[in-house]
Structure 1
Amino acid sequence: MAALELIIGNKNYSSWSFRPWIAMKVKNVDFKETLSLFDEATDQAHFLEFSPTKKVPVLKDGDHTIWESMAILEYLADLFPDRGFWPEDRMMRAHARSISNEMHAGFGPLRSECSMNMRREVRAIGVSDGVRKDVARIEAIWEGCLKSYGGPFLFGEFSNADAMFAPVVNRLDRYELSRTPAVLDYSQAMTALPAWQEWEAAGKAEPWIVEADEA
Structure 2
Amino acid sequence: VPCLVHDGIKVWDTLAIAEYLNEVRPKAGLMPADRRMRAHCRSICGEMHSGFASLRSALPMNIKAHFPNFPIWARAQTDIERITTIWLECLRQYDGPYLFGTLSAADAMFAPVVTRFVTYDVKLEPEIVAYSQRILALPEMQQWIADAQQEVEEIDELDAEF
Q: Which runs of 4+ in 1 moved over 4 A?
A: none
- 1:186 match: 131
Q: CA–CA distance in 2 between the matches of 1:135 and 1:202? A: 26
The one of 57, 81, 105 equivalent to 1:160 is 105
Residues 124 and 174 of structure 1 are in contact (CA less than 8 Å); yes or no, is this contact kept in structure 2? no
Contact conserved, 2:66 with 2:121, CA < 8 A, in 1? no
| TM-superposed deviation, 1:212 | 4.6
Tell me the TM-score normalized by structure 1.
0.70
Report if the CA contact (8 A) 1:135-1:178 is conserved.
no
2:27 equivalent to 1:71: no
Q: TM-score with structure 2 length normalisation?
A: 0.92
May I ask how many residue pairs the two structures share in their alignment? Answer: 158
3-state secondary structure, aligned to 2:10: strand
Are the aligned partners of 1:115 and 1:171 in contact in 2 as well (CA < 8 Å)? yes
User: Which residue does the alignment assign to 2:37?
Assistant: 92
How far apart, in 2, do the equivalents of 1:85 and 1:210 lie?
A: 32
Instruction: Report Cα offsets for 1:131-182 as digits up to 9, x if no partner.
Output: 0100110111111111111111101100000010000001112112232122
1:111 corresponds to 2:56: yes
| Structure 1 residue 86: Cα displacement | 0.5
- Give the SS at the match of 1:96: helix
Give the structure, 1 or 2, with the largest relative contact order (CA under 8 Å, sep 6 or more): 1
Q: Unpaired runs of 5+ in structure 2? A: none
Instruction: Quote the offset at 1:100 in angstroms.
Output: 0.6
* Identical columns (%): 42
Instruction: Find the counterpart in structure 1 of residue 47 from structure 2.
Output: 102
The unaligned stretches of length 5 or more in structure 1 are 1-55
Cross-structure match for 1:3: none
Query: Residue 148 in 1 paired to residue 93 in 2?
Result: yes
> Where does 1:1-215 land on structure 2 (aligned, <5 Å)?
56-213=1-158
